[in-house]
Structure 1
Amino acid sequence: MAATPGNQADQAREAAVEAALGKLDLDAKTRLLAGQDMWSLLELPEIGLKSLVMSDGPIGVRGVRWTADDPSIALPSPTALAATWDPGLARRAGTLLAQEARRKGVHVLLAPTVNLHRSPLGGRHFEAYSEDPYLTGHIGAGYVTGVQEGGVGTTVKHFVANDAETDRFTVNNLVSERALRELYLRPFEIIVENAHPWGVMTAYNTVNGTTMTEHRYLVNEVLRGEWGFDGYNVSDWMAGRSTVGAIEGGLDVAMPGPQTVYGEALARAVRDGEVEEATVDEAVRNVLRLAARVGALDGAEPAVAEPPAAVDGEALAREIARRAFVLVKNDNGALPLKPGTVALIGAAARDARVLGGGSATVFPSRTVSPLDGLTAALPEGTLSYAVGADPNTELAVADKGFSLKAVCRDTDGNILGTGSAPNGQLQWMGSDLPEGVTHDRLHTVELTGTFTPRDTGPHTFGIKGTGHFTLTVAGTTYYDDVQRPADDSDPFEAFFGSPVPRAQAELTAGEPVEVSLTYVYALPEEVPFKVVAFALAHQEPQRDPDELIAEAVEAARAADTAVVVVATTDRVESEGFDRKDLTLPGRQDELVRAVAAANPNTVVVVNSGSPVELPWRDEVAAVLLSWFPGQEGGAALADVLTGAHEPGGRLPTTWGSLADAPVTQVTPADGELPYTEDVFIGYRAWEKEGRTPSYPFGHGLGYTDWSYESAEVEGTTVRVRVRNSGERAGREVVQVYLAPGEADAGRPRRWLAGFASVAAGPGESAEAVVELPRRAFEIWDEAARGWSFVKGSYEIQVSRSITDRRLTATINV
């Protein structure tokens, strides 16, 4: 049989890879695998290899410069993308991010994150998709397909069982092979099968006694062997621990470079007979294959010769946000808003939180807050605003009102160069320094400029980072000392740690004052890369909380509708730590109850990346979940509240109270965290324990009604006929769950087997077609160490959520 054009192209790339590999000596090979700096691999001109550049990219492409001076499109959070239940929309998001990557000179995105929401306490769950492996896998596959169709590589992460942040560098997660196969590995397997990713990232954590960067069984035997993955495997940053263990365990690249377990150490291991050079060759081959695919290897045709048509990033960000909003409650048609006056309440309505904290952070060129969006959408004079309650009880990075620059000096005080500082945070990595500045000559970095307050009163200033700092405000030096890390176990404390208050100054609204924060440059020995990372932090005068709530109540009482925006903060949901509870920070719950008592037509918008408790949900007219909605979130919110578009989201994870949640343990004991719940997480666990959540998996309302008319089963194909029985056009997500005919204590009561979206106008019908995969009928047999097809009778449950079944049918297999 003649080779297909795709196969011919693959074969040509493989030939180019082999030719390039044959020209490299051992030292060049091992240097390539070590990385050259924070974000890139070594350039090897002798074989026509350009430097491969990587960047974080779950919701936007940061590039190699972690600064607001290099803006990026900021899409909604991964939980929001999963809430669309639309792999096609995820694919379009990927296409946009590939466009952004090419604009920034990035070859590979360090995304998507497809770990599962095992416990609602996971602090980084906003960066992952869902509690369900099937939904996670197919949203992730859409994302990967879109990015790679744009000629940019993906790195599916974090392989595997990186489902919490507590002791993430050292925890040994004890997981049964069945749970690994049916839950935690499954999204990776779906993506490998359906999207052919060009990369994967192995995690910090250990699984069943072996650290993931050395896990020969899971990487070499499962990922590469069983699934046929042919991409490159990069460590999470600083996760590589052993030269021989890593290369034998299937780790291709140890990042960041150049001081890693590879390089000279790997070359020495080969020469000492500890490692076969053929093993090194295989790792290099995987890297060169990646380079060939992204067009970074001379003589190899890139996988994508012509990138897709340009995408309007702001428009797509807005579309994804409104498609992701989940309307979980809407009594008496409270939404869309009816004509009349609206009282908008909440600190997050003015200063929107559009993305989560940590390495997923990017800096958009603009952010549309709910206040901005509704001001533009509603008739003039119909909107009022009150703060009500501020969830930010800690300092935040200096931003609004600050005009700053960075001045770099040597040991004699001479200026080496200056850099822009669009906000108070500096994160210069590797060679990312202002022109004329080098790490060996740099002695101090001063953030200096002016601050123009918007409120009169005591303003608090602080410092985020570790090292010697001098803080001066309005001519007074408030701090000149060494700030030490709060958590010695996390080398990323300077990035993700809390700001420390160091000064309080009485300032007057509208009157500028000079501010200065000087940092003495010194790198901790445990950090193997060169970085300048610190921030000037600030907090506005804190008004009496009772007065703020009282003002909000009066505003609500005077309006036809009250819209309250409540939110988490980056000290609640971020990389680096897990949550202690699911409560909203500050006095926001009290605010909602007070407003609802004053105005029965109260709508609450919940601005969080993952579940929070809503103790007042029965007291308000409507509850809309906006997740972290990205830079256009406020515009999208106005679209949905006014009824220009309906909210399109369905819950990708169960929302309930912490007291009722079946799986909550995220803190290891003696270094180990047993996954004692086995295959029962998320809705599987809620049903097993017979507990009722606040809102079930798959739940979500729109602005129209749907009638489920018929479900026909032909083999493993389910055809569902639905009709829009409401008065306006809408979109429906048809969910198909599979329930075994005979109860089996070892299996969930039911599980998601497929889904499809349909759209129809008023009175129109539409057909959803769902293919049930073979895997939906299989379990992992630990005794046989293989998949076992479980024959018998199954009920096919056509549903609007895990608990809202509309049609059933029976299938015998």
Structure 2
Amino acid sequence: MGPLPRFIRAPSSLLHHLVYHRVMDVDQTLAKLNVVQKIQLLAGSGAWHTHAIKDGAVDLPPLRMSDGPNGVRGQRFFNGTPASCFPASTGLGSSFDVELAKKIGEALADEARVKGCHTLLAPTVNTQRSPLGGRGFESFSEDPVVNGTIAAAYINGLQSKGVSATIKHFVANDQEFERFSMSSEVSERALREIYLKPFQIAIRDANPWALMTAYNRVNGLHASENKRLLEDILRKEWGYEGTVMSDWAGVYSTSESIKAGVDIEMPGPTVMRGKAVERALMGGKLLPSDIDARVRKVLQLVKRAQESGIPFNAEEKSIDTPELRQLLRTAAADSIVLLKNDKNILPLSDQLKKIAVIGPNAKVAQTSGGGSARLLSTYTVSPLEGITAAAKEIGAEVKYAVGVASHKFLPELDAYIQQKSGEGAGAVLESWNQKPSENFLQTTVDLDQKLSPCDWSTPTLGSRCFLLDGVDETKVNYECFQRYTTSFVPDEDGDWEISVHFTGRGNLFFDKKLVVDLSTNPEYGEEFFGFATIDKRATLKGLKAGQSYDLELRVSNHEFASRSPLPCWGGLRIGGICQFDGEQAIKDAVALAKDSDVAILVVGLNHEWESEGLDRPDLDLPPLTNPLVSAVLNANPNTVVVNQTGTPVAMPWIDEAPAILQAFYGGNELGNGIADVLWGKVNPSAKISLTFPKRLEDNPSFGSFGRGQEHGKVLYNEGIFVGYRGYDLRSIQPLFPFGFGLSYSTFEYSDLQTSSVSKKGEFSVTFKIKNTSKISGREVAQIYISDPEASLPRPVKELKGFVKVALEGGETKTVKVDLNREALGFYDDRQMCWVAEKGAFKVLVAASAEDIRLEAETELAATLTWKGL
């Protein structure tokens, strides 16, 4: 069996696992498999596993996968096992901290191991060409070097403990509108320099063991059947030897996807493979060698899982240790960017006595964006909780006002529901394979009718149930009827608004009276990946705090099951809020701000505004948020605005705000992370990895995003001029430039020197950084290269390296950054290769894309050309 990997601390149960699941020989196993078994391995088994094969000759265990990128959710959306939630990728990218990314990867590996997960479906390195992209928060940066470099560190941390990374989504998967069919029409040069580049960097520096193809088409051909991308570039040119899987329901062909190089169709049961592969073999459209090539890659990934020592079919568990909590807190604080501090309000004084915390994002912890990145956190610390705990240390009083409601849908009712049986929080979900009675959904139904015993039931703590998994598939068909019952206990007297949406058709009953009818030809909206009904509301008059009211939702999933691209038992969501006067709420917030020494205003978006499955329509914060911000700023000049979004938003109040923090989605410890930065326990050191525009029209992709200019096509008209490259090209001043971020320290750059460029294109950049303050801090120095005499148009400058330097007050350090031909080259689509042209290049050392501190030149004596990594 050989020695165990050094990272394993093997308990006796793990040794037992290794003895009885010996690491396979791939060639021998492949030779023992029959054709039917091989075909079985070309698709998943259920939502999160590969197929197990066990006969006299082969004992192949099922490899388990889990969604990322900011946590390890495990194998259940519904009733999932709690997990640690780390900051969203835009926050981690903004830290510019390679070591932090590696530590997070290691922590995610620890969590994956206790969840029996062999393959994490992360990281995401798609490029944020528009701030409106629904999944923009999942990727690290608009710049390919930052994107690829942080991803590589994350992957190295993850795979150092035996858990496979799955870099995704390959490639040009940059919007959610028509994401299954839209063709990203992108030039070869832009494809290479912007969109493929982060994958190329991560594969070169970290070798992710798996890769996921994108949903979309690239220049007319789906990525999952694009042989040029998967075979010619990925495997042949780059030498990639890992396993390629599809995104979930992202395979649209049989022979084409296999010949192109997609090893595994996910999820199972198969739609495009299975019997269809047998038919293709019969017809000669596929050869046995085509099947063997794909199966070999699947076996290689399973072998890695065996070598990891992670048990197969293990029970999922959670991790919660003091060390992990500290890492989560460090990550949250180090992802926060100080955008403005004009009056040196920050760090906050320990002499404060009265603190106002205001805003819709303060009381509820917005840990992550929505969609497959979302998970059930092991615990959360809201901004209000973090600030209150910090204020207690200095004896300050904290008072809270919501100011405005910023929800897209009414807030979920999780905190207000109890099982009717009295057995604890939550609700009970019951499922029937057959309709219990003819009038189950009718609006006149007697809710006291006796129903036949259900086929399956389960308690749940959630008021949002996405039944992609977590259901006993041996008992429940996809075409099922369901009843969700709970007791609703409001915490405020008054009129409550309640809302519901779900897949299929259904009705909501309150105290046995119909209040929401969506049972007859309901309109459909955008939730549950576009398969839910519209969100419909009702008003419940005169509710009393602490009193229990019956809630019952009855829903049929027959229609949904026939439309869903994924095996799924449906989804439902119930929300509610006590009605309040919006104008009065702002007045209350203003009064509180006036009566306080400092106001901390926490605003932003949440997982319903930024989510997989939908793009944002504009840069605006939710309705009434901007009026609230302006009113509070006017009421108290000592106001700190904390903006919590995954991607840029407009800030029309920017000139009035003396202090602004960009907090992104900070994971479990976001509240403590914010408090640590506010009081200076952590000196902010992050710099935004995305350009914040003043107007949407300023973004380089404006006019060529979303619906695009042609049916089924979005034209990448900006070419290589994505993000800061486009702002430089058009001399447009953004709201905040790429790479910008302040500190409580100040830094001075000096003594830039560049070495001569070797024949292979290698050179170094050396300079000094001094902390000119008395406060220890960290500075992110950025190295840009400019090619003023290129044969093709090139960006004004391009980031080619960065370094994060820790300095005590008054300390000076010499920094050296090694660069190579990649820093000088561009892609020549005439020669189909990379070219670094001889001549002089400018080397720019900067504190941001707009703050160039030092400039020098270096020269390449002879033109270089190359392909591959």
> Structure 2-normalised TM-score?
0.88
* Corresponding position of 1:45: 54
Q: State yes or no: 1:685 paired with 2:726.
A: yes
Match for residue 460 of structure 2 among 401, 411, 421: 421
Q: Percent identity?
A: 36
Equivalent position amino acid for 1:350 in 2: K
* Corresponding position of 1:512: 548
Match for residue 433 of structure 1 among 466, 471, 476: 471
Alpha-carbon separation, structure 2, partners of 1:331 and 1:498 = 44
* Corresponding position of 1:617: 654
> Contact 1:470–1:479 (CA<8 Å) still a contact in 2?
yes
Deviation at 1:478, TM superposition (A): 2.0
Alpha-carbon separation, structure 1, partners of 2:536 and 2:792 = 51
Deviation at 1:172, TM superposition (A): 1.1
Deviation at 1:95, TM superposition (A): 0.9
Q: State yes or no: 1:392 paired with 2:410.
A: no
Alpha-carbon separation, structure 2, partners of 1:74 and 1:640 = 19
Alpha-carbon separation, structure 2, partners of 1:201 and 1:485 = 35
* Corresponding position of 1:649: 686
> Contact 1:687–1:749 (CA<8 Å) still a contact in 2?
yes
Deviation readout 1:141-170 (Å, 9 max, x if unpaired): 111111111211111111000011111111
Deviation at 1:498, TM superposition (A): 5.7
Alpha-carbon separation, structure 2, partners of 1:300 and 1:478 = 48
SS of the residue aligned with 2:571?
strand
Q: State yes or no: 1:461 paired with 2:493.
A: no
Deviation at 1:407, TM superposition (A): 3.6
Q: 1:704 to 1:57 in 2, by over 3 A?
A: same
Match for residue 406 of structure 1 among 410, 414, 428: 428
Q: 1:564 to 1:485 in 2, by over 3 A?
A: same
SS of the residue aligned with 2:665?
coil
Deviation at 1:767, TM superposition (A): 2.8
Deviation readout 1:452-474 (Å, 9 max, x if unpaired): 21222222222222223231222
Shifted more, 572-581 versus 379-388: the winner is: 379-388
Shifted more, 126-135 versus 562-571: the winner is: 562-571
Alpha-carbon separation, structure 2, partners of 1:483 and 1:153 = 46
Deviation at 1:140, TM superposition (A): 0.7
Alpha-carbon separation, structure 2, partners of 1:160 and 1:569 = 26
Alpha-carbon separation, structure 2, partners of 1:68 and 1:78 = 25
**1:164-183 aligned within 5 A:** 164-183=175-194
Alpha-carbon separation, structure 2, partners of 1:486 and 1:689 = 43
> Contact 1:792–1:812 (CA<8 Å) still a contact in 2?
yes
Alpha-carbon separation, structure 2, partners of 1:670 and 1:462 = 35
Alpha-carbon separation, structure 1, partners of 2:520 and 2:341 = 49
Deviation at 1:425, TM superposition (A): 1.9
Q: State yes or no: 1:372 paired with 2:385.
A: yes
Equivalent position amino acid for 2:428 in 1: A
Q: State yes or no: 1:670 paired with 2:711.
A: yes
Match for residue 278 of structure 1 among 283, 286, 289: 289
Equivalent position amino acid for 1:622 in 2: A
Match for residue 129 of structure 1 among 130, 137, 140: 140
Alpha-carbon separation, structure 2, partners of 1:554 and 1:781 = 62
Equivalent position amino acid for 2:844 in 1: Q
Deviation at 1:347, TM superposition (A): 1.4
Q: 1:744 to 1:600 in 2, by over 3 A?
A: farther
* Corresponding position of 2:8: none
Q: 1:598 to 1:429 in 2, by over 3 A?
A: closer
Equivalent position amino acid for 1:734 in 2: A
Alpha-carbon separation, structure 2, partners of 1:775 and 1:698 = 20
Equivalent position amino acid for 1:400 in 2: A
Deviation at 1:537, TM superposition (A): 1.6
> Contact 2:478–2:568 (CA<8 Å) still a contact in 1?
no
Equivalent position amino acid for 1:24 in 2: L
* Corresponding position of 1:28: 37
Shifted more, 530-539 versus 698-707: the winner is: 530-539
SS of the residue aligned with 2:271?
coil
Deviation at 1:805, TM superposition (A): 1.1
* Corresponding position of 1:86: 97
Deviation readout 1:326-375 (Å, 9 max, x if unpaired): 00110121100122122111011112322101111101022111110011
Shifted more, 453-462 versus 745-754: the winner is: 453-462
Match for residue 755 of structure 2 among 709, 714, 718: 714
Equivalent position amino acid for 1:735 in 2: Q
**1:619-634 aligned within 5 A:** 619-634=656-671
Q: 1:171 to 1:409 in 2, by over 3 A?
A: closer
Alpha-carbon separation, structure 2, partners of 1:234 and 1:254 = 6
* Corresponding position of 1:793: 840
Alpha-carbon separation, structure 1, partners of 2:211 and 2:389 = 43
Deviation at 1:316, TM superposition (A): 1.5
Count of matched residue pairs: 794
Q: 1:50 to 1:681 in 2, by over 3 A?
A: same
**1:483-498 aligned within 5 A:** 486=523, 492-494=529-531
**RMSD (Å) for aligned C-alpha atoms:** 2.5
Deviation at 1:312, TM superposition (A): 3.2
Q: State yes or no: 1:16 paired with 2:25.
A: yes
* Corresponding position of 1:701: 742
Q: 1:446 to 1:309 in 2, by over 3 A?
A: closer
Deviation readout 1:716-762 (Å, 9 max, x if unpaired): 11122111111111111111111124377710000001001111111
Q: 1:743 to 1:592 in 2, by over 3 A?
A: farther
Equivalent position amino acid for 2:831 in 1: A
The answer for unaligned runs of 5 or more in structure 2 is 6-21, 313-318, 419-425, 437-451, 757-762, 861-869
* Corresponding position of 1:200: 211
Alpha-carbon separation, structure 1, partners of 2:525 and 2:680 = 50
Equivalent position amino acid for 1:690 in 2: S
* Corresponding position of 2:443: none
The answer for unaligned runs of 5 or more in structure 1 is 7-12, 302-307
> Contact 1:424–1:447 (CA<8 Å) still a contact in 2?
no
> Structure 1-normalised TM-score?
0.93
Q: 1:790 to 1:385 in 2, by over 3 A?
A: same
SS of the residue aligned with 2:752?
strand
Deviation at 1:421, TM superposition (A): 1.0
Alpha-carbon separation, structure 2, partners of 1:212 and 1:143 = 25
Equivalent position amino acid for 2:769 in 1: V
**1:523-534 aligned within 5 A:** 523-527=560-564, 529-534=566-571
Deviation readout 1:302-343 (Å, 9 max, x if unpaired): xxxxxx998933221211111010001101211001221221
Q: State yes or no: 1:360 paired with 2:407.
A: no
SS of the residue aligned with 1:569?
coil
Alpha-carbon separation, structure 1, partners of 2:615 and 2:467 = 27
SS of the residue aligned with 2:356?
strand
Deviation readout 1:790-811 (Å, 9 max, x if unpaired): 2211111111001111112211
Match for residue 76 of structure 2 among 60, 65, 69: 65
Deviation at 1:232, TM superposition (A): 1.0
* Corresponding position of 2:590: 553
Alpha-carbon separation, structure 1, partners of 2:753 and 2:333 = 32
Q: 1:610 to 1:750 in 2, by over 3 A?
A: same
Alpha-carbon separation, structure 1, partners of 2:561 and 2:667 = 34
Equivalent position amino acid for 1:514 in 2: D
Alpha-carbon separation, structure 1, partners of 2:310 and 2:503 = 47
